[in-house]
Amino acid sequence: MPLVRIDNMLRVARAEGRAVAAFNCWDSNSIHAAALAAQRTNQPIIIQASPAEEHYCGAKAFRAMAELFTDATGATAAVHLDHGSTLDQVATYLDAGFGSVMLDGSRHPYEENLRLTRETVELARKSDACVEGELGKVLGLEGDIEVPEGQAGHTDPEEAACFVAESGVDSLAVAIGTIHGVYRGKPEINLERLEAIAAKVSIPLVLHGGSGTPDDTVHECIRLGIAKINIYTELMQAWLGGLGQIMGPDTFPAPGKFYAPAQEQLIARMIEKIELFASA
């Protein structure tokens, strides 16, 4: 099945009270796993690329593999640039045929974030592509952007309403206490803040740092307006856990078989997340 638009996918998800799983992938194995998980659950997904993996794969190759595997499996999927940091990066992924992009200007002051996001929207519209913006700062490292401890900040609902109206974005990533990476303590998710944002913003909302967030909290976030949830850390944990089971002094690295256990663990974790987000 051809790659689809992300904006329609997310609007329907928010209207139906569910969220779409957005998987950050890093190679052909992970992209193929995402397509198989979507096929087995009969649910739409988003396959995301990060600029951090650009030198391993490249935007054109990434999109080509996503299209190849979704076409082969019949999965419904969109491709998205996650956490682009410059307009040049955005242009590279748009030129490669990505139907959705994000320039993460959240580390900048509000006015600069708004300017960069507005310019991203202008670039994307020329390619008939969608744009995700971000307001507030999510703790941790994602792509080549890091927010250290003490600098995270929750999204302001009033600012969010102005940002959406003035930038023209199709979806908005919000900061409510999730992190990029592994939680170091009990997750403290600000659901009241999310509810206030959703009351001011009608477009689909995005939750970054979905890995490790408790299932009941995830369901509550979806109920309050989250329509897209990013997952990466749990995918890498599943993949590395599978590799750990098969690596040893007596392991014979037979092509096509060596990675099979890790691949199945990765697919299983993806299915788990897809079903969790669809069941809210």
Q: Are strands 77-81 and 45-49 parallel, antiparallel or unpaired?
A: parallel
> Cβ–Cβ contacts within 10 Å for residue 40, how many?
16
The CA angle 278-188-44, to the nearest 5 degrees, is 15
Query: Is 82 among the residues known to form the active site?
Result: yes
> Cβ–Cβ contacts within 10 Å for residue 200, how many?
15
Could you tell me where the beta strands, DSSP code E, fall in the chain? Answer: 20-24, 45-49, 77-81, 100-102, 130-135, 139-142, 145-147, 171-174, 179-180, 205-207, 226-231
Q: Which of 27, 71, 82, 88 is catalytic?
A: 82
Which positions are catalytic? 82
